[in-house]
Amino acid sequence: MTQVLSGDENELGTLGLESFDMAFEVVLDSDSDPASPRSMSSPRKWFIVTTICTAIVCVTCTSSIYTTTYNQLSQEFAATRLISATGLSTFVFGIAFGPLLSGPLSELFGRKRVYLVAWLAFIIFTIPSAVAPNMSTLIATRFFAGFGGSTFLSVSGGTVGDIFAKDELQKPMALVSLAPFIGPSLGPFLGGFINYHLHWRWTYYIMLIWSVLIFLAILIIPETFHPAACAAKARKIRIETGDTRYWAQSETSRQSSPKTIGVTLLRPFQLFFLEPMCFCLNIYSAILLGILYLFFGAVPQIFRTNYGMNLWQSGLTFLGIIIGMALSVLTNPFGFVYGHNWSPDTGKRQARRHK
């Protein structure tokens, strides 16, 4: 069967053809297909998960580690504590707005491209933060650093779903869900030691070294988006056979179309405002994270003022959050088992099955 695509609709722009034969459509046959991201070896999958989690921890750590630089910033730039705290707010604003762009774009252009561009932006804008001559530069560049770094927080779930089957998602998703909370709690802990012994700029130098190492890891991870993997399979077949009639469904869409991109970017707003469950979960998460970041500014100050702790000692007060979050992962299997005891059709507990 042959279908013809009009100039205003989809076309195989990469092949230069105006029609395509359904008999030559290339698909991923199954999860065991060598071209499928889910057919990767277990070590390779967990390397991807580890890279993602490390990047998330790095970004969220960068957000909160800034709170340990307040005293030095106030002395060097003659800034009030309120002005100094603005840099924390702008970074968090960047994290909030970044996913509205990076999430939809990863569905158009694939995960790896978005990861590379966004993480490069994170590195680039962290550099002027490290060498900032004034508070205005520091506050502004932190917004764009947060905007770029937020990509891993929004796209990570899609990547895990790309490489793991539905019944394998429990463990990797538990780690990916844990990382955004470990990072902010780790920031004051690390920053306390750094800023107690070194100049505040070393806070950013160390984060830069960390982020560059992550960038090198991103370079070697493969593309996991299934439509992109299918397109790569089609290209490989065309090269091997010399037959240009082979095509993949993702190649028939004009991904550069402004209309397509516009519709994709509008989707997060539709979900937020039109889906009650999504709206409630977002508001709930915002409240929890707001309280958490409030602690980063208030708790160290309380312990230093009332209990005479120095900077690194007050950072130790956040170890409890890190340990608590880590222990929470251990309860994940119980929730998984408990959830499977309920019928999705009746909403009632199912009878235990015996072998």
What's the pLDDT tens digit per position in 217-228?
999 999 998 888
d(CA 321, CA 328): 10
For residues 20-29, give the mean pLDDT: 70
Q: Is a pLDDT exceeding 80 seen at residue 260? A: no
Predicted pLDDT of residue 317: 86
Q: Is a pLDDT exceeding 50 seen at residue 2? A: no
Percent of the chain with pLDDT over 70: 85
Structure tokens at 248: 């993949």
pTM of the full predicted structure? 0.83
Domain total for the chain? 1
Predicted pLDDT of residue 7: 32
Domain membership of residue 282 (yes or no) is: yes
Domain membership of residue 266 (yes or no) is: no
Q: Give Cα 110 to chain centroid, integer Å.
A: 14
d(CA 74, CA 231): 53
Domain membership of residue 295 (yes or no) is: yes
d(CA 77, CA 301): 20
For residues 37-42, give the mean pLDDT: 90
| Contact (Cβ atoms closer than 8 angstroms) between residue 206 and residue 194 | yes
pLDDT digits (tens, 9 = 90+) for 192-237: 999 999 999 999 999 999 999 999 999 999 999 888 888 878 888 8
d(CA 150, CA 196): 28
Domain membership of residue 347 (yes or no) is: no
pLDDT digits (tens, 9 = 90+) for 98-139: 988 888 888 888 899 999 999 999 999 999 999 999 999 999
Nearest to 296 by CA among 113, 131, 25, 66: 66
Which phi and psi angles does 248 have, rounded to 5°? Answer: -120, 150
Average pLDDT, the chain: 83
Domain membership of residue 114 (yes or no) is: yes
pLDDT digits (tens, 9 = 90+) for 303-321: 888 888 888 888 888 888 8
Domain membership of residue 303 (yes or no) is: yes
Predicted pLDDT of residue 337: 66
Domain membership of residue 69 (yes or no) is: yes
Q: Where would I find the beta strands (DSSP E) of the chain?
A: 2-4, 19-21, 25-26, 247-248
CATH number at residue 165: 1.20.1250.20
**Domain with 136 in it:** 37-224+275-319
At 19 the three-state DSSP class reads strand
The letter for the amino acid at 128 is P
Half-sphere exposure of 115 (CA within 13 A, CB side): 27
Domain membership of residue 346 (yes or no) is: no
